[in-house]
Chain A
Amino acid sequence: MTDRALKARVWRGAAEGAFREYEVPRHASQTVLDVVTHIQRVLDPTLAYRYACRVGMCGSCAMTVNGVPRWTCRTHVDKAAKNDRIEIAPLKNLPVIRDLVTDMREFFDKWARAKGRFEGNRTKKDDFARVRPESAARMQADAGIECIGCGVCYGACDVVSWNRDYLGPAALNRAWTLVMDARATGRAERLRAVAGDAGCHACHTHMSCTERCPKNLSPTAGIAGLKRAVAKAALRGEL
């Protein structure tokens, strides 16, 4: 395997730029992040990219690999390359700072706009909140809670590219887990924040987020839950 070479086309530049091709030796169980790291350490130290944990926890290494957004640290070259060729570009729908590094501010700002921050009303003097793990609401929240904030869903979503105000799958999924959280306060404000054209009702169930989420979450399911919850609130005059 090691005598084979991989032809890797890697994006260089920012919004303006071009792909540059590198030849990288193949190894068994090689990940896309290994390829990028090899290029940066051996072939071209000016290449900018971002990673931290290398084990699928931190959510910082997402890139567009052969047109598909992926977490590069857990994506094997075997799976992503075609005929020993691979194209590595920055994540879509976010401004490129340099090479493979995107500016993720708008992505996280939208979590804040969707009221993605937990706020409760208990103090340390109160007893623990008792939440039954098998309750319907908790199970719905649990289904979406493992998000690592990698931005793969945001890069995969066409509604985000068509509608720059759209909060996007990750922020809405986060809001849904809080709407389903018995301890969280500010439900009415949260539903208001995720309503309408910039929020959950813009989702057309393309399901690209669900298709591409490396953690196998389904933001589409959470967004559908928000659509119903917001609609109910609107009909009750609570929006």
Chain B
Amino acid sequence: MTNNHPAYWAFLVHRVSGIALALFLPVHFWALGQALEGAARLDAFLAWTEQPLVKFAEWSLVLLLAAHLAGGLRVLALEFLPWRDWQKTLAAIAAAVSLAVGLAFALAL
């Protein structure tokens, strides 16, 4: 297939993670906004997030954020740095950084 190469995969991950993060942002802000109604309200919400499925969703979001960050740095490097032959290395570094952050968060949970 025409699109089966590292830079295209990097693009797809970047775009899909970006869409997911854009959808998540309002929810995240709403959750933190619970503090407006007092610490107890926020604690009630935090207790809800202790469920395994929610934990897994949180882990996915952190992974998506790390992936979007790494993919974004790849784009900025491609667009603003003089380059020739290391584009594939960039895609690999982006993947490695996202995985490392995902793993660190999983261990911290």
Q: Is A69 an interface residue (CB 8 A)?
A: yes
A210-B90 Cα distance, complex, nearest whole Å? 15
Instruction: Decide if A221 touches B83 in the complex (CB within 8 Å).
Output: yes
Interface residues on B, range: 10 to 19
Instruction: Decide if A208 touches B1 in the complex (CB within 8 Å).
Output: no
Q: Is B78 an interface residue (CB 8 A)?
A: yes
Interface SS, A side:
helix
Q: Which 10 A-B pairs have the closest CB atoms?
A: A207-B7, A224-B79, A211-B5, A205-B78, A67-B1, A206-B8, A206-B11, A156-B2, A68-B2, A204-B11
Q: List B contacts of A155 (CB < 8 A).
A: 2
Residues 194-213 of chain A, each 1 if its beta carbon lies under 8 Å from chain B, else 0: 00000000001111101110
Q: Which of B7, B79, B80, B83 contacts A206 (CB 8 A)?
A: B7
Tell me the number of A-to-B contacts counted with CB atoms below 8 Å.
49
- In the complex, residue of chain B having the shortest beta-carbon distance to the beta carbon of A158: B3
- In the complex, residue of chain A having the shortest beta-carbon distance to the beta carbon of B6: A207
Instruction: Decide if B1 touches A207 in the complex (CB within 8 Å).
Output: no
- Contact surface of A with B, Cβ cutoff 8 Å: 67-69, 92, 155-156, 158, 204-208, 210-212, 218, 220-221, 224, 227-228
Q: List B contacts of A158 (CB < 8 A).
A: 3, 8
Q: Which of B2, B7, B15, B87 contacts A69 (CB 8 A)?
A: B2
Q: List A contacts of B28 (CB < 8 A).
A: none
Instruction: Decide if B8 touches A228 in the complex (CB within 8 Å).
Output: no
Instruction: Decide if B79 touches A208 in the complex (CB within 8 Å).
Output: no
Instruction: Decide if A205 touches B75 in the complex (CB within 8 Å).
Output: yes
Q: List A contacts of B87 (CB < 8 A).
A: 207, 210, 220
